Amino acid sequence: MYVQTLPISKCAFHPINLSPGTHLLTHCTQTIQIRKVYFESKLKTGFCHSVKRVCGSQIGSGKGGVLVGVRCEGSHQGENDGLYIRRCVELARKAIGHTSPNPMVGCVIVKGGKIVGEGFHPKAGQPHAEVFALRDAGDLAENATAYVSLEPCNHYGRTPPCTEAFIKAKVEKVVVGMVDPNPIVASKGIDRLRDAGIEVIVGVEEELCKKLIEAWIHQMLTGKPFLTLRYSMSVDGHVLNQLGNTVLEPGGYYSKLLQEYDAIVFSSTLLLENSSFPASREPGANQPLQIVLAMDPDLPVEIPALTSKSTAKVIIFTEKETSLEQVATLKGVETVVCERINLVSVLEYCKRQGLCSVLLDLRGNIADFEQILREGVELGLFQKYVVEVLPVWVGSNEKSLNVPEKLRVKSLTSKVMGETVLLEGYFE
């Protein structure tokens, strides 16, 4: 808790019931000093819970003192809807990298201005966020408001419908971040709740909720995995086969990317340069499927030692089966022989595996990716890009990637990380 003193020239005060017959000033024009008190809850979400005394001040010409109650901003539960949905998103991200092919979802139960239950979906096959939140709230869920980042399901799958759980718990109101694009759900959950007499509000912090599960939404609407292009670049625009100094450490953007995506695709030449597979160092990270492109059939494919903790399954795409006779016998390694290695084949394989998100990482021999990139651009296979700009000047004599077709991008954001700059955005 911390206290900030500030002047107020005109303010509206709200009476506090101290005793029968007590009347407090409801409006003042004289400048006074009050103490503005901020409380940080144990959830660290910035919620303002009920406080009996929030400030004290003497008002008027110094004759007597009175207690003045200043209402916290957004104290009405409706005004706090955005705060609670943001908390849902925060909870949902606890399962990042673990829920595919399901989406990440968070749920919060609020009663009397206080959070009485929380939950998130931990992985496919386990109960949904709403069930965990209702369990946490217990009997307090009755006549409470439930906040959930994604529309509750209304069908039987691996788990029972969450709408029925809300109805059974007798919640009074449900606030939904976004409508479920799944045709099986698609507003049916909202309709079921309303038919049961539960008030439903939809579209609170909708863009934030969509971004949380953007890969899952794309897969649900198109039937194809969400494909992100990642590469490093010099300040004079040349693609580099290197990463920043700290990006592989816990909390680094690259470590987080590997935690987030279901699969990572890279050239087999990367394994000639490194003694290990790309792996996230985030605590409890679920490592992505490693898809290795053996673009040059004359080069050997070196497979580092596989460990259950640091590496998921390895898939090697090749055009020449005989070059992989030795690695094909390794446990945890699968080979896919194609007439020609291309992105369509890779994405089709990922689709059959039920993967929602794929990261194409331009590491290894950069020239290996020219045909792959050209194909991806021509067919519109890319949805997102992540570019790390390194403090390096290569010079005009160095060859860079040659992808002739121009692309329009949108929603570009930048973030400075030490000596590097991270750019993120989407292809139109």
User: Which residues does the annotation mark as catalytic?
Assistant: 130
Residue 289 CB-density burial (10 A; 0-12 exposed, 13-18 middle, 19+ buried): buried
* Cα torsion angle, 136, 142, 144, 147, sign: positive
Residue 244 CA to residue 388 CA, distance in Å, equals: 8
* SS3 assignment, position 257: helix
Q: How far is CA 200 from CA 22, 128, 145, 163, 193, in A?
A: 39, 19, 10, 12, 7
Residue 420 CA to residue 233 CA, distance in Å, equals: 10
The one-character DSSP state at 299 is S
The one-character DSSP state at 70 is P
Retrieve residue 199's tokens: 């008030």
Q: Where are the beta strands (DSSP E) in 314-369?
A: 314-318, 333-337, 357-361
Q: Is 418 left (phi over 0), alpha (psi -120 to 50) or beta?
A: left
Half-sphere exposure of 185 (CA within 13 A, CB side): 21
Residue 120 CA to residue 91 CA, distance in Å, equals: 6
Cβ-proximal residues to 19 (8 Å cutoff; 6+ apart), any chain:
none
Do residues 34 and 8 make contact, with C-beta atoms less than 8 angstroms apart? Answer: yes
Cβ-proximal residues to 389 (8 Å cutoff; 6+ apart), any chain:
232, 233, 234, 235, 420, 421, 422, 423
Residue 102 CA to residue 81 CA, distance in Å, equals: 25
Q: How far is CA 341 from CA 230, 351, 367, in A?
A: 19, 16, 14
Instruction: Write the DSSP assignment of 210-260 as a string of letters.
Output: HHHTHHHHHHHHHSS-EEEEEEEE-TTS-EES---SSTTSTT-HHHHHHHH
The residue count of the chain comes to 428
Spatial CA neighbour of 247 closest among 280, 289, 277: 280
Residue 65 CA to residue 291 CA, distance in Å, equals: 72
